A = this chain, B = another copy of it.
């Protein structure tokens, strides 16, 4: 079983490999050169490299030059921002991230939720004014390391990517949802999903590769299927929701539920409002809202960790339809790939490595050494 949002982890011929520690250290130096404090740069680099480490390339180093460096340059992300607590009720907090780098700040919000959950059973940190944070599952999994259940749900700020079923105009983003929990040792349960059929990265990946896409991913203004992935960035097609046929109302409903929980509750930017109008500029993912929650079963009852191991061991023990493909749970394949890449090096597309090397040079630091081609 693979994470539904990820590309198949098949390294391309043009991939290069670098040691994970070198990659993370170089990324941290690049971010520090942009004004991040060292501990924040380290945490952000770990979050960004997590994408490539686990095979989720759409949320990895490819976004350094595409999203994070331009946003740090333009001021949409403030490297020195000090998030401010606006309300503190003990178990619940409202935080203004003040455009802090989400790659670091989302993890800090989960850590705060974990701390509160120790005393209250649950910690819920609602954040507004946030920025792009990479893999939601990476942050949610911090709670699982403490024996807790973690949830990270985010909207995409004012960005509009997918229309409601039966609607002509995009209203919401891909609104990711991650749930993590302790499972087998070293193999936590980590569900990390967009509420759309796929995230935008999958569509752009197919466009770059010149591959047609399946019918369920994109639709035009009238709801008709589109299989040319390049139509998405031409504005001729929109993402569809998770769920086939009438089931798309569940995907849309989940996307709306994330919009409510992650953005409406803390008062962050919303996809549907204000409407930029027909001639207006496409709104960006500014003023993102997210919820970082941790639940501490050990505060409520004994035996949770043992029960979690039993539950997930039974999932793994389910007889497979194909004996060559054992049953897995979300998080397992990513942990397997991470372990392999820690041993053998992290594969990167050559173009991404070149972008990283250029960013390193601009920061006056060395690029990670190549281990070799694949």
**Which residues in A have some Cβ–Cβ distance to B below 8 Å?**
1-4, 86-87, 89-92, 94, 119-122, 124, 126, 149, 163-169, 171, 179, 181, 189, 191, 193, 197-198, 214, 216, 221-223, 242-254, 256-257, 259-261, 264-267, 270, 272-273, 275, 295, 297, 299-301, 303-304, 307-308, 310-311, 314-315, 317-322, 325, 327, 329-330
- Check A304 against B191 for contact (C-beta < 8 Å): no
Q: List 9 A-B contacts (CB under 8 A).
A: A1-B166, A124-B295, A164-B315, A164-B318, A169-B318, A179-B253, A243-B247, A264-B304, A265-B297
- Check B4 against A94 for contact (C-beta < 8 Å): no
Cα–Cα, bound, A181→B258 (Å): 11
Q: Which of A119, A122, A259, A270 has the most C-beta atoms of chain B within 10 angstroms of its own C-beta?
A: A122
Smallest distance from the beta carbon of A163 to chain B beta carbons, Å? 7
Q: For residue A301, which residue of chain B has the nearest CB?
A: B267
Supply 10 further A-B pairs (C-beta < 8 A) apart from A164-B327, A179-B261, A252-B330. Answer: A86-B300, A87-B301, A91-B91, A92-B122, A166-B321, A168-B320, A216-B245, A223-B321, A243-B244, A256-B329
Q: What chain B residues lie within 8 Å of A214 (beta carbons)?
A: 245
Q: What chain B residues lie within 8 Å of A223 (beta carbons)?
A: 321
Cα–Cα, bound, A304→B270 (Å): 12
Q: What chain B residues lie within 8 Å of A247 (beta carbons)?
A: 4, 197-198, 216, 242-244
Contact A321 B92, CB 8 Å, known A253-B191, A272-B311: no
Q: For residue A275, which residue of chain B has the nearest CB?
A: B314
Cα–Cα, bound, A120→B320 (Å): 45
Counting from the closest, the 4 A-B pairs by CB-CB distance are A92-B121, A272-B314, A191-B253, A167-B318
- Check B4 against A249 for contact (C-beta < 8 Å): yes
Q: Which residue of the partner chain, among B189, B248, B300, B310, contacts A126 with CB atoms under 8 Å?
A: B300
Cα–Cα, bound, A307→B320 (Å): 48
Q: What chain B residues lie within 8 Å of A249 (beta carbons)?
A: 1-4, 330
- Check A191 against B257 for contact (C-beta < 8 Å): yes
Q: What chain B residues lie within 8 Å of A308 (beta carbons)?
A: 260, 264
- Check A311 against B94 for contact (C-beta < 8 Å): no
- Check A253 against B330 for contact (C-beta < 8 Å): yes
- Check A89 against B168 for contact (C-beta < 8 Å): no
- Check B300 against A87 for contact (C-beta < 8 Å): yes
Smallest distance from the beta carbon of A181 to chain B beta carbons, Å? 5
Q: For residue A318, which residue of chain B has the nearest CB?
A: B167
- Check B259 against A311 for contact (C-beta < 8 Å): yes
Smallest distance from the beta carbon of A202 to chain B beta carbons, Å? 10
